[in-house]
């Protein structure tokens, strides 16, 4: 005689009542019985089961193993040292690791003596490890009491204070399952369950809260993770479909004079296969009748500009204007120069609009935009001022999207009766799995191939003690006619200290590279834009040998003759930033170098970052490492995306599952875009339920 549904308020569940219900809502956001059942334990304690090292699986569970320590070593120095022990049973070996209390632990550990260890395992490169395990000598353990596999729920201080201990939560769960066991609706289709060998919802929920053994728990976790990722992907992909149906835009059906003339007569090089593929994707989007909303990812130097130019020419062929936005004045100017150069033999009118354009010139630009005689407008934020009105804006290209808000993007749409097509370009590679979740409702193109003949940038890690020989190397490069960047990090909280650090560095560089043989320039955030520009121009023109800078030169700056990027205290930079900086060199025909001049005190993570930089030039690989090291929370754009609100799946650990879930959602939508088929009934019901809820999926736009 079940009277409750999953929508019933928690207060009506036996053992809860109004006071506890209020606490649950306030502390954990749990309002209904349905919320409670998807309140999952974050770990499990099982002191009756013993596991064999050879049979371990990756789960959230703590495990208990009997074995012996066969080897102990200390790694690293001083504060960064760690103690590692090899722990072995008759089926295999794993690693035990301690970061704290090393001295004491080392002296207490006995080798070749049976221990019972207990804790959470981690799998890395095929080896299981356990950090700070609970350890008992087997002889001691056998004298004590052991209890069965217990779920441990997330809690808060307030809950504990009000007496809602883990045991109480377990009791409430027990009541819930006594009432509901076997009555939870299946939320996936039979087809999905079969294809992906997933256990049913009732079993999965029960096993998550009351696991019988590690294997069933692993299956339960797998099923619930799949479900979570599947519904996120379904929603993102379906939003994309709906947007394409709803948001109409211009149909660029023609490829005519502008494109053909340029492509046949003035294209300075053959396009790479990746560039051709991306161009096809863009052409298809723009000829379709729906608004293009495409993200173009390509590592620095992969040749995104030419793709944008060719897309722009298609817009011109169809009688439309094009806007190209860059985040800074330097970048906008650079785009203006390089695009003007590319199109110099074409009858295309191009202008630059930035904050420093004089009122008089500005007026002319406004006029020509409105009467349609200006074809391509390149600029900064100045482009989205209200005064700027296009006669017929058909395409907007946005370079380095993360510096522009979506609101600003939306604003540009309103300058016309139909929104223009939007192409967003970024050189910050985002790991594919993350992009799927972050930009699942955008279309993503990737240029994953560099133009031919590009020499790989050689990256070296050096230490302060080697500074003299590094400087000697710089002098040799300068003697060959090359130019050099030296970049300083922002390290302190205080701008004044950073500034002092940069200036001290600058002074010492000038001492090491004295005038008149050497010319050293400097750019930093405190300079007036005009002064900054002047310094940049001196460097671009080859009048300064060395440019000392903060990260202001991070994005897009293009000086092909610069062949060395020296980064001071690279350990203070994030990986993607280091990679961006390195991308400033290697733009010409000469061999280029990136020197990481590190301090001596390096954390484990900093070492990993620097090692990765030395090992690879591939921006996507770097992005994957970055994601693993820092977690998704620190990667650009994730904070707003809601992917951090995942209940059970983990975007890093479950990336393979994420791909499966995405393809599953794609297949279903391809066959049944409105989820009307009978076999998809459970999916339709669940999907519409999620749509209404303000739950975990609400912030994904």
Residues of this chain that interact with ligand ADP (CB under 6 A) are 269-272, 275, 298, 300-306, 427, 451, 558
Q: How far is the CB of 304 from ligand ADP (least distance, A)?
A: 3
The number of CA neighbours under 13 Å toward the Cβ of 136 is: 15
- Per the document, the length of the chain is 701
Name the token pair of 493.
């909280």
Spatial CA neighbour of 281 closest among 293, 270, 269: 293
Q: How far is the CB of 298 from ligand ADP (least distance, A)?
A: 5
Q: How far is the CB of 301 from ligand ADP (least distance, A)?
A: 5
Residues 97/82, Cβ–Cβ less than 8 Å? yes
Q: In this complex, which beta carbon is closest to ligand ADP, that of residue 272 or of residue 328?
A: 272
Q: In this complex, which beta carbon is closest to ligand ADP, that of residue 63 or of residue 279?
A: 279
Q: In this complex, which beta carbon is closest to ligand ADP, that of residue 310 or of residue 610?
A: 310
Q: In this complex, which beta carbon is closest to ligand ADP, that of residue 298 or of residue 521?
A: 298
Q: How far is the CB of 445 from ligand ADP (least distance, A)?
A: 12
Q: How far is the CB of 176 from ligand ADP (least distance, A)?
A: 54
Q: Write out the H or E segment, with its range, that includes residue 72.
A: strand 62-75
CA distance linking residue 432 with residue 438, whole number of Å: 10
Q: SS3 sequence, 182-202? A: CCCCCCCCHHHHHHCCCCCHH
CA distance linking residue 455 with residue 453, whole number of Å: 6
CA distance linking residue 334 with residue 587, whole number of Å: 14
Q: In this complex, which beta carbon is closest to ligand ADP, that of residue 298 or of residue 642?
A: 298
Q: In this complex, which beta carbon is closest to ligand ADP, that of residue 415 or of residue 579?
A: 579
Q: In this complex, which beta carbon is closest to ligand ADP, that of residue 447 or of residue 523?
A: 447
Phi and psi at 534, nearest 5°, equal -60, -45
Q: How far is the CB of 265 from ligand ADP (least distance, A)?
A: 16
Q: How far is the CB of 454 from ligand ADP (least distance, A)?
A: 8
DSSP 356-381: TS-HHHHHHHHHHHHHT---EEEESG
Residue written as token pair 């009791």? 171
Q: How far is the CB of 269 from ligand ADP (least distance, A)?
A: 4
Q: In this complex, which beta carbon is closest to ligand ADP, that of residue 32 or of residue 272?
A: 272
Q: Which residue is nearest to ligand ADP (CB)?
A: 303
Q: In this complex, which beta carbon is closest to ligand ADP, that of residue 92 or of residue 451?
A: 451
CA distance linking residue 473 with residue 591, whole number of Å: 13
Q: How far is the CB of 619 from ligand ADP (least distance, A)?
A: 10
Q: How far is the CB of 427 from ligand ADP (least distance, A)?
A: 5
Spatial CA neighbour of 447 closest among 578, 344, 310: 310
Q: In this complex, which beta carbon is closest to ligand ADP, that of residue 199 or of residue 271?
A: 271
Q: In this complex, which beta carbon is closest to ligand ADP, that of residue 306 or of residue 398?
A: 306
Phi and psi at 424, nearest 5°, equal -105, 130
Q: How far is the CB of 302 from ligand ADP (least distance, A)?
A: 4
CB atoms within 10 A of CB 326: 27
Q: In this complex, which beta carbon is closest to ligand ADP, that of residue 160 or of residue 589?
A: 589
Angle of helix 529-540 versus helix 329-342 axis, rounded to 10: 40
DSSP 111-152: TTS-EEEEEEEEEETTEEEEES-EEEEHHHHTTS-----EEE
Sheet architecture: strand order including 443-447: 350-353, 376-379, 321-325, 393-399, 421-426, 293-298, 443-447
Q: In this complex, which beta carbon is closest to ligand ADP, that of residue 296 or of residue 627?
A: 296
Specify the DSSP class assigned to residue 83. Answer: E
Phi and psi at 189, nearest 5°, equal -75, 160
Spatial CA neighbour of 95 closest among 105, 104, 87: 87
Q: In this complex, which beta carbon is closest to ligand ADP, that of residue 558 or of residue 641?
A: 558
CA distance linking residue 619 with residue 574, whole number of Å: 13
Q: In this complex, which beta carbon is closest to ligand ADP, that of residue 487 or of residue 522?
A: 487
CA distance linking residue 614 with residue 206, whole number of Å: 48
Q: 596 in helix, strand or coil?
A: strand
Q: 534 in helix, strand or coil?
A: helix
Residue written as token pair 């300075």? 268
Q: How far is the CB of 435 from ligand ADP (least distance, A)?
A: 17
CA distance linking residue 585 with residue 436, whole number of Å: 30
Q: In this complex, which beta carbon is closest to ligand ADP, that of residue 244 or of residue 579?
A: 579
Q: In this complex, which beta carbon is closest to ligand ADP, that of residue 233 or of residue 272?
A: 272
Q: How far is the CB of 335 from ligand ADP (least distance, A)?
A: 9
Q: How far is the CB of 588 from ligand ADP (least distance, A)?
A: 9
CA distance linking residue 158 with residue 164, whole number of Å: 9
Pairing of strands 443-447, 293-298: parallel
Q: In this complex, which beta carbon is closest to ligand ADP, that of residue 133 or of residue 429?
A: 429
Residues 314/388, Cβ–Cβ less than 8 Å? no
Residues 61/217, Cβ–Cβ less than 8 Å? yes
Q: How far is the CB of 559 from ligand ADP (least distance, A)?
A: 11
Beta strands in 293-365 (DSSP E): 293-298, 321-325, 350-353
Q: How far is the CB of 279 from ligand ADP (least distance, A)?
A: 11
Spatial CA neighbour of 622 closest among 420, 457, 471: 457
Q: How far is the CB of 375 from ligand ADP (least distance, A)?
A: 20
The number of CA neighbours under 13 Å toward the Cβ of 444 is: 21
Spatial CA neighbour of 401 closest among 374, 430, 359: 430
Q: How far is the CB of 392 from ligand ADP (least distance, A)?
A: 26
């Amino acid at each position: 005689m079940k009277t409750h549904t999953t929508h019933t308020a928690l207060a009506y569940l036996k053992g809860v009542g109004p006071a506890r219900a209020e606490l649950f809502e306030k502390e954990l956001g749990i309002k209904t019985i349905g919320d409670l059942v998807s309140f999952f334990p974050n770990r499990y304690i099982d002191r009756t089961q013993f596991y064999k090292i050879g049979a371990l699986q990756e789960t959230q569970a703590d495990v208990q193993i009997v074995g012996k320590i066969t080897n102990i070593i200390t790694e690293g120095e001083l504060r960064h040292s760690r103690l590692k022990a090899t722990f072995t049973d008759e089926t295999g070996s794993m690693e035990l690791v301690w970061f704290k209390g090393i001295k004491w632990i080392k002296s207490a550990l006995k080798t070749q003596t049976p221990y019972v260890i207990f804790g959470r395992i981690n799998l890395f490169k095929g080896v299981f490890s356990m950090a700070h395990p609970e350890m008992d000598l087997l002889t001691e353990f056998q004298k004590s009491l052991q209890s069965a596999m217990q779920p441990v729920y997330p809690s808060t201080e307030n809950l504990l204070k009000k007496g809602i201990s883990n045991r109480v939560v377990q009791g409430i769960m027990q009541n819930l399952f006594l009432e509901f066991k076997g009555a939870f609706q299946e939320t996936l289709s039979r087809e999905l369950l079969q294809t992906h060998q997933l256990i049913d919802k009732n079993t999965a929920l029960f096993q998550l809260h009351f696991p019988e053994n590690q294997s069933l728990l692993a299956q339960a976790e797998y099923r619930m993770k799949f479900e979570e990722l599947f519904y996120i992907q379904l929603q993102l992909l379906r939003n994309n479909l709906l947007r394409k149906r709803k948001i109409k835009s211009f149909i660029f059906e023609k490829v005519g004079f502008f494109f053909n003339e340029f492509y046949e007569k003035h294209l300075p090089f053959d396009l790479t296969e990746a560039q051709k593929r991306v161009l096809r994707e863009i052409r298809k989007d723009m000829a379709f009748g729906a608004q293009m909303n495409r993200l173009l990812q390509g590592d620095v130097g992969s040749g995104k500009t030419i793709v944008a130019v060719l897309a722009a020419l298609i817009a011109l062929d169809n009688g439309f204007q094009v806007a190209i936005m860059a985040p800074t004045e330097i970048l906008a100017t650079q785009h203006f120069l390089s695009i003007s150069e590319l199109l110099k033999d074409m009858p295309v009118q191009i202008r630059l609009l930035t904050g420093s354009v004089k009122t008089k010139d500005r007026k002319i630009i406004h006029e020509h935009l409105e009467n349609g005689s200006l074809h391509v407008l390149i600029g900064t934020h100045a482009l989205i001022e209200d005064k700027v009105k296009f006669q017929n804006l058909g395409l907007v290209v946005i370079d380095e999207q993360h510096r522009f808000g979506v609101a600003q993007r939306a604003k540009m749409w309103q300058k016309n009766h139909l929104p223009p097509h939007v192409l967003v370009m970024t050189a910050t590679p985002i790991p594919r799995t993350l992009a799927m979740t972050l930009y699942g409702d955008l279309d993503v193109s990737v240029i994953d191939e560099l133009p031919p003949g590009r020499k790989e940038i050689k990256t070296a890690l050096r230490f302060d003690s080697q500074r003299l020989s590094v400087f000697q190397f710089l002098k040799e490069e300068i003697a060959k006619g090359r130019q050099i960047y030296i970049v300083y990090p922002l390290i302190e909280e205080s701008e004044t200290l950073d500034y002092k650090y940069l200036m001290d560095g600058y002074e010492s560089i000038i001492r090491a590279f004295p005038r008149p043989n050497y010319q050293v320039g400097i750019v930093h955030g405190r300079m007036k834009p005009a002064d900054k520009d002047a310094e940049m121009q001196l460097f671009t023109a080859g009048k300064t040998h060395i440019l000392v800078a903060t990260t202001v030169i991070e994005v897009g700056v293009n000086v092909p003759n610069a062949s060395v990027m020296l980064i001071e205290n690279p350990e203070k930079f994030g990986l993607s930033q280091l990679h961006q900086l390195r991308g400033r060199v290697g733009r010409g025909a000469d061999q280029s170098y990136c020197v990481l001049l590190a301090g001596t005190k390096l954390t484990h993570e900093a070492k990993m970052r620097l090692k990765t930089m030395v090992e690879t030039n591939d921006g996507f690989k770097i992005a994957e490492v970055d994601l693993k090291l820092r977690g998704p929370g620190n990667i650009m754009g994730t904070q707003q995306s809601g992917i951090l609100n995942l209940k059970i799946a983990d975007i890093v650990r479950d990336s393979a599952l994420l791909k499966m879930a995405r393809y599953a959602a794609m297949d279903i939508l391809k066959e049944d875009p409105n989820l009307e088929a009978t076999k998809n009934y459970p999916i339709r019901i669940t999907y519409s339920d999620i749509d209404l809820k303000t739950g975990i999926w609400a912030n994904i736009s």
